[in-house]
Structures are given as C-alpha cells and as structure tokens.
Structure 1
Amino acid sequence: MRKYLSIDLSRENFWFEELQKRNDVQSARIKRLLQLPDLTKKENSPVKILVDQILNLPRFTDFDLIEFPRIVSVEENFDLLNTPADHPSRRQTDTYYVAENYVLRTHTTTMWSFYLRNADILKTLKEEGHIQTLSRGIVFRKDEIDKNHFPAFHQIDGLYICERSRRLITQKDLEEVERDIAKSIFGEDVKYRFLVDSFPFTDPSVQMEVEFNGSWLEVVGSGLVHPQVLKNFGLDPAVYNGWAFGFGLDRLAMIKMGIPDIRILWSEDPRITSQFKDINSRYKEVSKYPPISRDISFVIDKDISLNNYYEIVRDLAKNLVEEVKLIDSYEDEKKFGKGKKSYTFRIVYRSPEKTLTNEEVNEIQEKIRYHTEKDLGAILR
C-alpha cells in the first residue's frame, strides 16, 4: 500500500521569511519563482495528466509518494548525490542560491536525501528488505530563453532499493520499468532504445529514447544506484542494491500533446486549459498573435555568464518573451579592450494570449537596455 510522506517545511518557511527581509535582485527572482504553482498538482495541466498516467501504472501501486521542500541544502541537492565539487550545476550561474549553503532544488532526485534518511523508511527497509518511492514536483534552474526553456519546470523520479540477498538488480530490471512508462504514454507499439549515459548518482547509467513522429526523443535518464551514494546514506552496497529513474515532464507533455511553446503550460486562459482532458489530448492553437522583435548589442566582460543577461530579460519581460537569440558575438581587443566581448541578441516578444503593441514592447526594451548597462556593467552599442 502506498505511503504518503510529507517532509516538515519549517526550514523552508524560515528561509522564505528571510527572503522577505531582502530587496536585492536575486531574492526578488527567487520569491517570484516560489510563487509559481506546481503544475504536477494543477488540474487540467498537461504536466499533471502525465504524472497521473505514471502514478497509476500497476507496477507503481505500492510505491510511496514523497513531498519535500523546494529550498534544500547544498548537501541534500549535490553532496549526498555524489555530484562533483566542480560540476557546472553547482555554479551560481546555473542554480538559484538562497544562501551560501541553500538552494532552490534543481531536480527531484534530491528526494533521496529525505527518503533515505527517514527513520520509518529505514525501519521498513530493515524489516521488509526493500523500499520504493516516487516523487514529482517543480524544480528550478537558470537557463536560456526560448520556446523549450523556463527557469521553473517539473520532474518525476523513482527509486527502488532492496537487499541483495532478496534480489540482484540488473539493467534489465530497470529497462522493464522504463518500457512500461513509455508504453503508458506513447502506446503499446512505441519503438524504444537504450543508450549509455552518465549521472553522478547511478552506475551504470542509461538513457531511454522513444521514436515519435519520425524522430528519436530522449525520455528517461536512469541507472543502478551508485555504491558511493548508498554509502553516503549509511547503506552498505555489499548488502543493498537498487535502481532509479528521473525525467523532465514539461518537454514530454509538449511533445505528446503538440504544445509548441513552454509558456502555454503556465497559461490560465480557459480557451487553453479546457483543451487538456487526458493523455491523448492535442493542443489546438487559440490564435497566432504576431511577434515583435528588437535587437540589442552590448560589450561586457567575457567571463560574465550569459545566464545573467537572460535573468534580466526574464525579470522585466516576464512571459512576454518567446525567445532571446544570440545572433552575433566576437572579441576585438583593440576596439573593446582586453577581456571584453561584444554580443548582439534578438529578443522576440510574443504573448500566447494577446496582441502586444509597439508601445508595450518599447517600454520593456528600454528597461532591459538600462538594466543591462547598470547590472552587467555593459557598454551599449
């Protein structure tokens, strides 16, 4: 029988209260992200429809379901999961740091840090010889701006651990799980394949791809639980073994339901939300509102991550930007100075719900120009 575990949120509440005392740009971004709804729990959301399809699979009937905080420690999000100290995901240009040692969770795999340190769960493992859980929810990561990326997105993870004397877990066991997931989403006749991959917390690791509309699509990342990760949680890899999987839900929902722009997933427009009833729903365009493009060129220190610029655009344009496209970049020490680099971006404005005016766009663009200069020390061209 499925157990529902909800981790105490008092620590998250503490950090949320601390954020309210701050008025810097970074805290404003984090507060805005924390106000977003978790679409894995929102009715008529393509993301929730996908989650329900997976949760209702017969093989997952007895899997626990764990909820854990959105604000987690660096140890919980990275260290315990064997993430190398120099891994790019740890950088402030990739992850939202609430404080020096606390971040917005970057993946639902972080649930291991709560599930595998829960006293009741460890008791069950000792008494019954196995434990199993799923976790779904919203996660956060800094990224580029286009139709497929948004700083908040959704994932689902699965974890199974048992005594080796009970069962020796193999890659074949994991492939059977992934096959069931793929068939539940894409149908019994779906074609699939497995490719070698690499993740810090599994070894060996594999990636599952499915063929859909003539293309091979990455669906699930997975592997056998890494022995070092078991040790990190106080479990002897000579005694225990297991498998794990995890994957993004937003892109999968977009592919399955024919959604062309990730912002549509967040829409409250009833003309859009009413279209999604079940796993076979297909999106029909409400109206193709015209785009408005504006170019911006500037020179900044070449060591500055472009994610810093994308964050400025998100701050000011919200969901009115469809894409920020880099159309030119070059260095010229004589012209710009040592360590400087010139960039030209094309910002494409388009709302999925209304027609934008030139006046609206010009106002936003001027704010972006101002903050690019002020926040990045840029020289506008």
Structure 2
Amino acid sequence: MNDLESLVQAAVADFGAAPNPAELENAKARYLGKSGRVTELLKGLAALPPEQKKTRGAEINQAKVRIETELGAARERLAEAELAVQLRAEALDVTLPGRGRSVGGLHPVSRVIERIEQIFGSMGFDVAEGPEIETDWMSFTALNNPENHPARSMQDTFYVDLKDSEGRWLNLRPHTSPMQVRYARAHAAKHAADLAAGKTIPEIRVVAPGRTYRVDSDATHSPMFHQCEGLWIGENVSFKDLKFVFSEFIRQFFETDDFDVRFRPSFFPFTEPSAEIDIAFRSGPLAGRWLEVAGSGQVHPNVVRNFGLDPERHIGFAFGMGPDRLAMLRYGVPDLRLFFDNDLRFLSQFR
C-alpha cells in the first residue's frame, strides 16, 4: 500500500469514527485544512523535479477527490442519524392544545454588535455599513495586497462570476476593511478643496461592523462570520491613542478594569507596524490566559494614498476584531457554530 492509499484509508477511518458533525469537521481539517496532510503534500510538489510534478500532482489530486467524496458521505450519514434522533425526540402530538408565541429577542451576536457601536459611538466614532459583494480592488488592491496574494484564491475567498463596469472581479467581502476605503475616500472627496489648499480637515473616526465570508468552517470559524473594523486618521494620531481607545473599549465591553492588554508584533499588508491585541483577565474562569481579540497597526502609507490622502500629513491606526469571538468570550459559548444553528433552546437564553 503506497503512501497516498494509506492517507486515504486513514481519512476514511477517521471520518467513519467521528461521532458527530463537529468531530467530523475537525477530522476534515487534519486532511483538507490549510495545514492538513493533503495540503502539505501539494505544497511539497514545489520541491520535486519538473518531470515528477505532473504525475505526483495528479496522484495527490485523485487522493484528495476520494477523501472529499468520503467526507461528503460521512456528512450525509451523520446528518441522517442526527435527523433521525431529532425526529424521535421532537415527535409532535397534534392532539395537544395550541401554545402561544413567546416574545422574541435580539440574537447574541446582534447584541454584541450594538454594544460595540454604542461604545465606539461614545468615543466619537461614526458607524459605516456597505455592500457585502465587493470589487477585487476594494477587497485587496486598495489595502496593499498584491495581485498574487493567497487570500485572493478560491481557497480563502468566495468569488462571484461577475465583473464590475471597470472589469474588476467581484467577491463576497472577506473582511469589512473595504468600508474603511469607501468611508475615507468619501471623506477626502468631501474636503477636496481644503486638502488642495493645504488646510486641516476633520479627522476620520469610523467603525464598520458587518457580515464577511471566507472558505473556513470549524469550532471557531464559520464560512459566514462577523467582523468590525475601526479606523482613526488625522494629523497627529499615534499608537498611544490606539492603546487608550482599545483598552477603554475592553473595559466598557466586559465591564471590568481587572485585565491587562498586550500588543504583540505581527504582520498585515495594510498596516506598518502591525500588532495583534491580546487581553488577559486577572480573575474569573479565563484568569491568566492571553486571548487574541484583534489585529491592529498604523495604516500603511500606500493605503493612506488609496484613501485619497497624503501619508506625509495624515497618519493613524486601524484595527479589526470579530464580534462572534467577543460574544463567545462575553457569554461563555464554546462553539461558534451554536450562534448559527438557530436552536431556540440556545437562543432563548439571551432574551
């Protein structure tokens, strides 16, 4: 038995042993995820001689198709079993008297987004909303992502088989960052005369919450999720302002002063320098654990230019965070997918 056949058999065994959909998706990630075994084999093709790449690549792709087929069959099996259990547990007695409808309530993620908007609104930030189908230029090029950036591939981004009037491909936005570009360009256009005259214009302070889309699905990732981007641009805005703003946001959001904030060096194409923002609570069930809650950084000069502003005069910071993850932390929810299962037994707890 060759290595690929062994890999397929191992995947079949793992898929067959998965007791529930969550475990099945975790098993899928071990083989077909971004760091999965099949993905690593495909990456290894680069090291092979040219005459071997085609044959080896075809063999790996055949194994991948077999694994995906087995994954689909396992999903159907678990879905059918889950449905059978649900039908047995939720059998209806149509002779029972009717029941009145209870009062509904906001979804927990909607609650968190409203809370984010209120907190940043109290600090002078506007709230911006925009299209969920964006141009390739807005999603990537304007944010200093080169044309060969991997996030543009079908593995990371949902593309729409259409182009805009300028011939640019459309996609379901992978982040709400395009709203930073749209808002800043509108702001620059509104104050174009003052900019041309060298006058100081009002600062840009905006948060952009909304739905975003990426090809990803496990206990902490969903193909559709929520993101909130923030932007503050002016003539004298620094990392000190970023630290104050975000620390104040965390204090108000979690209603505690009992935490520490850490800015950990990182890399994002649209900011330089860049930092991940971690928090650690000093007490409670999460005490002592550093939790990543946002990415941030000083807006890259190329992005400032795409805003229609002069990076020699205008400087500032941007940050991005996931309301879904903040909701998990605030409400102690262990699995992101619970937010999207529409199970009233779960959702009714937040009424």
Same fold per TM (> 0.5)?
A: yes
Q: Which runs of structure 2 are paired with 1:151-190 in the superposition (5 Å)?
A: 151-162=223-234, 164=235, 168-186=236-254, 187-190=256-259
Render the CA deviation track for 1:177-207: whole Å, top value 9, x for unaligned: 1111221233211122111111111111111
Q: Which of these residues, 151, 154, 170, is aligned with residue 92 of structure 1?
A: 154
- In the TM superposition, residue 61 of structure 1 has moved relative to its aligned partner by 4.7
Provide the rounded CA distance (Å) in 2 between the counterparts of 1:190 and 1:119: 36
- In the TM superposition, residue 79 of structure 1 has moved relative to its aligned partner by 0.2
Distance 1:78 1:60, change over 3 A: farther
1:80, 1:113 within 8 Å by CA — same for their partners in 2? yes
Q: Which runs of structure 2 are paired with 1:340-379 in the superposition (5 Å)?
A: none
**What amino acid is the match of 1:203?**
E
Q: Does 1:64 align with 2:126?
A: yes
Q: Quick check: 210-219 or 262-271, which moved more? A: 262-271
| Unpaired stretches in structure 1, ≥5 consecutive residues | 1-41, 278-381
Provide the rounded CA distance (Å) in 1 between the counterparts of 2:230 and 2:189: 15
Q: Does 1:150 align with 2:222?
A: yes
Q: Does 1:137 align with 2:210?
A: yes
Distance 1:121 1:65, change over 3 A: farther
Question: Larger radius of gyration, structure 1 or 2?
Answer: 2
User: Runs ≥4 in structure 1, deviation > 6 angstroms?
Assistant: none
RMSD: 2.2
Number of matched pairs: 231
Q: Does 1:80 align with 2:152?
A: no
**What amino acid is the match of 1:103?**
N
Distance 1:251 1:156, change over 3 A: same
- In the TM superposition, residue 159 of structure 1 has moved relative to its aligned partner by 0.9
- Give the match's secondary structure for 1:67: coil
2:120, 2:249 within 8 Å by CA — same for their partners in 1? no
TM-score scaled to structure 1, two decimals? Answer: 0.56
- In the TM superposition, residue 72 of structure 1 has moved relative to its aligned partner by 0.5
**Higher relative helix content:** 2
- In the TM superposition, residue 58 of structure 1 has moved relative to its aligned partner by 6.3
Q: Does 1:206 align with 2:279?
A: no
Distance 1:177 1:217, change over 3 A: same
Q: Which runs of structure 2 are paired with 1:1-381 in the superposition (5 Å)?
A: 44-57=106-119, 60-99=122-161, 101-118=169-186, 122-123=190-191, 126=195, 128-143=201-216, 145-162=217-234, 164=235, 168-186=236-254, 187-212=256-281, 213=286, 214-277=288-351
Render the CA deviation track for 1:17-73: whole Å, top value 9, x for unaligned: xxxxxxxxxxxxxxxxxxxxxxxxx95222122222222226645322111101010
Distance 1:182 1:72, change over 3 A: same
| Unpaired stretches in structure 2, ≥5 consecutive residues | 1-103, 164-168
Render the CA deviation track for 1:211-263: whole Å, top value 9, x for unaligned: 24132110111111111111123211112111111111212211221112222
